[in-house]
Amino acid sequence: MKPSIELIQNWFGYDPELGVLTRKLKSRSDLSDIVYPKDKRVYLLGTRYPYTHIIWVVVYGKWPACLIDHKDHDQMNNRLDNLREATESQNQHNKRMFNSCKGVSFDKSTNRAKPFVARIMFERKSIFLGTFASWEEAAQAYREAALKYHGEFACVE
C-alpha cells in the first residue's frame, strides 16, 4: 500500500532548480538534507519507491497514473521540466538505440540496390517504411515516421 500524499509531503521537499528531493524530516541525525537516488529509488519507512514518483507526489499532490519519462533520456536529470507521465508504450518510443539507428536494419537478402530497411512500431504493429539505398535515407524515413506516429515521445537522435 502506498503511503499517503500528506506523509510524503511532510517527509520530502523538492528543489526544482537542482531537480533533487530534500529531507524535511530525518529518521537519523547523520542523514544528508539532499536525498540521493540509490538505484533510482527512495526509501520511506522501510519501503522503496521510484525517485521520480516521489517528486511527482511532492509537486503535484498525487501519485502518477503511469510511468515517469525523462524527456532528455538522462535518468539523473530530475528537473521538473524534464519529467512527464508516459505509458509503457510512450516510454519505449522515447528510448535511444546505441551504435545504430532505431528502426533501421541492413538486410543482405534484399535487392542489393536498396539493402537498408526501415520499420517503426506503432500500437504493437510493425509498419514497413521501405527499403533504401543508404543508411541515411532509411534513418530519415524512420525519423519522419517517428514524429508522425510517436509525437512528443519520438526519439529521433
- What is the average pLDDT across 77-97? 81
What gap in Å lies between CA 69 and CA 52, rounded to an integer? Answer: 9
Q: What is the pLDDT of residues 23-77, one digit of tens each?
A: 888 777 767 788 877 778 888 888 899 999 999 999 999 999 989 989 888 888 9
CATH of domain 91-153: 3.30.730.10
Chain region(s) in the chain for CATH 3.90.75.20:
5-86
42 vs 102: CA distance, rounded Å: 32
pLDDT digits (tens, 9 = 90+) for 121-153: 888 898 999 988 888 898 889 889 988 988 888
pLDDT for 136 equals 87
Residues of the chain with CATH 3.30.730.10: 91-153
pLDDT band at 90 (very low <50, low <70, confident <90, very high): confident
Burial category of 120 from C-beta neighbours within 10 Å (exposed 0-12, middle 13-18, buried 19 and up): buried
- What topology does CATH give the domain 5-86? Homing Intron 3 (I-Ppo) Encoded Endonuclease; Chain A (3.90.75)
Do the beta carbons of residue 105 and residue 126 sit within 8 Å? no
